[in-house]
């Protein structure tokens, strides 16, 4: 099925069957969660094969359960989200009644990447279905076995008149982005995100872009260095650092690089459970670290199974400019918090900033000074698994929010409704106006 065919089929189903009511949406979300759990082990095996070594437990936690939790959370709260909301009417218009009601946008296109192919395809599906839409999903060609299972889950749980899956490579992805969807979701790199946004703009399609960026981990003087090192490495080890919200660069304030290296080695965290996803990813990382001193925290495994390495680059090195997206962790010592804030704000806004050992005053200073999608204290990465917490970036790290009520709103039209009474005070200004109307208007706009 081509993207155009998928869109045409879903438009036909929408015209024939009409809007999906709230109770049916709840049933669809329940079926989606059940189907994911039924296929959980098959998904883990497929991703292991696609990667050539993907941790079963990471797949079950970060891909399957994240999507299941999102479906269950939205199902529980959907009735309240979908209720119309009364809006105040100015007294000159009384007894007019006004309210806002969420209605579906229509057909939502979703483009998912290879790093969390199930979560990043199906959590937007959850939000779109909760809002009453139909969906077309373009899974990543980088994980073809998993893409086939995503198609199977969608067909079993939602059916072909609610969800369509479009397979294919880069040409198919470009065609997908160029279709006149009612909303388009893209998760991936910033460079590709620009192309997707440009293609969508030609059809005036609104977009949700979930991109990347350099998520700094700021270790402040008050941090317990041993605990901070453990928490940072736990976040970095997930999916071998191939995570958009992984700690990207460590900024040390009041701690020496040598002490941080020792604290990292003491954690025993060195070799991630998951390999690099493909040869292109391995070659990119090899090019990225050229010229930087590396401290590997363990021996590499076979093939693309890479250990976490701390990197100590020169100030102008590519590691400090480009998103790492792998098990390399640049470390930079800075004199104080203002210097760290200057370092962060000199770069494109990140998805997340992680603070370790921050006081209330330090946290407030960062919150007031730094633009980012999330400000997280004393852990890394796992906030992205909270189904009620809206997720998204800002600027180069993305636009728009999804998950929970934020996702419901993102994929809804908040439509205004008004019912006028037979008479209201405002009608004295109708034309042809009475003689006193101009004087009254002048009086109303006079500065008091």
Q: Which residues are catalytic?
A: 210, 244
CA atoms within 13 A on the CB side of 345: 13
What is the spatial distance between Cα 388 and Cα 397, in angstroms, rounded to a whole number? 20
Under a CB-based contact definition with an 8 Å cutoff, are residues 424 and 105 in contact? no
What is the spatial distance between Cα 265 and Cα 175, in angstroms, rounded to a whole number? 47
Q: Where are the alpha helices (DSSP H) in 213-336?
A: 225-237, 257-267, 279-288
Report the SS3 class of residue 428.
helix
Locate 361 and state its tokens.
């005053």
First to last CA, the chain: 65
What is the spatial distance between Cα 62 and Cα 64, in angstroms, rounded to a whole number? 6
Give the C-alpha distances (Å, rounded to integers) separating 156 from 31, 33, 55, 73, 448.
8, 11, 26, 21, 65
């Amino acid at each position: 099925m081509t993207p155009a065919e998928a869109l045409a089929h879903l438009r036909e189903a929408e015209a024939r069957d009409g809007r999906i009511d709230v109770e049916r949406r709840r049933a669809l979300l329940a079926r989606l969660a059940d189907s994911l759990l039924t296929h959980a082990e098959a998904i883990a095996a497929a991703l292991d094969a696609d990667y050539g070594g993907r941790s079963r437990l990471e797949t079950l936690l970060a891909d399957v359960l994240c999507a299941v939790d999102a479906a269950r959370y939205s199902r529980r709260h959907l009735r309240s989200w979908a209720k119309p909301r009364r809006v105040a009417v100015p007294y000159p218009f009384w007894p007019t009644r006004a309210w806002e009601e969420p209605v579906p946008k229509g057909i939502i296109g979703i483009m998912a990447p290879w790093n969390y192919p199930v979560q990043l395809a199906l959590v937007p599906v959850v939000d779109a279905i909760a809002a009453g839409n139909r969906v077309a999903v373009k899974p990543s060609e980088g994980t073809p076995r998993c893409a086939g299972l995503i198609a199977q889950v969608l067909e079993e749980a939602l059916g072909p008149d609610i969800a369509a899956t479009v397979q294919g490579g880069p040409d198919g992805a470009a065609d997908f982005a160029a279709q006149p969807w009612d909303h388009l979701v893209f998760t991936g790199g910033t460079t590709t995100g620009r192309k997707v946004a440009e293609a969508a703009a030609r059809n005036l399609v609104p977009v949700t872009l979930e991109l990347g960026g350099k998520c700094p981990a700021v270790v402040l003087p008050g941090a317990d260095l041993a605990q901070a090192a453990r928490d940072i490495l736990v976040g970095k080890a997930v999916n071998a650092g191939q995570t958009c919200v992984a700690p990207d660069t460590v900024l040390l304030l009041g701690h020496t690089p040598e002490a941080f290296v020792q604290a990292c080695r003491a954690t025993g965290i060195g070799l991630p459970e998951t390999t690099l996803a493909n040869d292109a990813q391995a070659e990119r990382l090899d090019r990225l670290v050229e010229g930087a001193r590396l401290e590997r925290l363990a021996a590499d495994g076979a093939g693309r199974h890479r250990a976490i390495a701390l990197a100590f680059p020169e100030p102008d090195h590519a590691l400090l400019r480009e998103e790492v997206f792998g098990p390399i962790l640049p470390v930079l010592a800075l004199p104080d918090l203002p210097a760290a804030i200057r370092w962060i704000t000199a770069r494109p806004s990140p998805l997340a900033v992680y603070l370790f050992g921050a006081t209330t005053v330090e946290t407030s200073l960062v919150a007031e000074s730094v633009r980012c999608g999330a400000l997280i204290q004393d852990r890394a990465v796992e906030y992205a698994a909270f189904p009620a917490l809206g997720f998204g970036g800002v600027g180069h790290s993305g636009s728009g929010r999804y998950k929970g009520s934020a996702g419901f709103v993102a994929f809804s039209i908040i439509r205004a409704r008004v019912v006028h009474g037979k008479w209201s005070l405002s009608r004295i200004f109708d034309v042809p106006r009475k003689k006193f109307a101009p004087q009254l208007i002048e009086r109303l706009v006079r500065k008091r």
